[in-house]
Amino acid sequence: MSLTDADLFLAEIAAAFVDAGREVQVDAAARTLDVSTDAAPITSPTTAAPSDPPTGTSAASDSSDSSDSSGSSGSSGSSGSSGSSGSSGSSDDGARARPPARVLVVLHPLSRAVTLYATHPARVPGDAVARVRELAARVSADEPVVTLELDSASHVVSVRHALALGAAHPDDDTLRDLVTAALDEVEDGLARLTPAVESVLAGTDPTSAAATARTSTLPTP
């Protein structure tokens, strides 16, 4: 059985993540990778639940190639923020450390693009979905690179970023650097935006939480 271009692209991207020092679980049928994360565990009083990937991300990627890779070619640099320490209520007696976020990588072989989702390890309760969805819309409007998303079916919060290679065929070192930068973007984005999500889950108005998230990312004078 001969390998297809899609198979070769999957192997190429998986090897780049391994070369970047990450553990990778491959789902060849779904064209997805489950990538280990360097992010610190998230601590909050929110009840943890097993996280599902955002629905629709594991479907055949070829059919959605054109929808997820816009504006993300050559993700820019790594960010050093470790902003998850500000999540609301993290010092409460009921606080608990949840497992680190995971990074789900969805491949789009036709356009040679990958979409990365750094997922929060707990589902949003049903009565908070509308507030978190509003927060995601407000925060994403101010984010230059990543997008905060709430999956309507699974109620999983994730930070999304994409890397579009297109016709480019970078060498192994360059591809490793590109996927490392993309990982940095989604991991840092989740760390920065988790306090806003936790704040809304604790009852803060989404407008106020988004404003706080916006000012917390501004450079210090």
Greater pLDDT, 17 or 97? 17
* Separation between Cα atoms, residue 12 and residue 220, nearest integer Å: 40
Residue 169 amino acid letter: H
What span, in angstroms and rounded, lies between the C-alpha atoms of 200 and 198?
Answer: 5
Confidence bin at 62 (pLDDT 50/70/90): very low
Say how far apart CA 147 and CA 141 lie, in whole Å. 8
| Residue position matching structure tokens 């806003």 | 196
pTM (two decimals): 0.73
φ and ψ at residue 187, rounded to 5 degrees? -70, -45
Bridge partners (DSSP) listed for residue 160? 117, 147
* High-pLDDT (> 90) share of the chain, %: 61
Query: pLDDT category, 49, cuts 50, 70, 90?
Result: very low
Query: Given phi > 0 = left and psi -120 to 50 = alpha, else beta, which region is 212?
Result: alpha
Distance of CA 140 to the CA centre of its chain: 13
| Per-residue pLDDT reduced to its tens digit, 128-179 | 999 999 999 999 998 999 999 999 999 999 999 999 999 999 999 999 999 9
Mean pLDDT rounded to a whole number for the chain: 78
Rounded Cα–Cα distance for residues 194 and 158 (Å): 10
Position 144: which residue type?
P
* CA gap 159, 145 in Å, rounded: 10
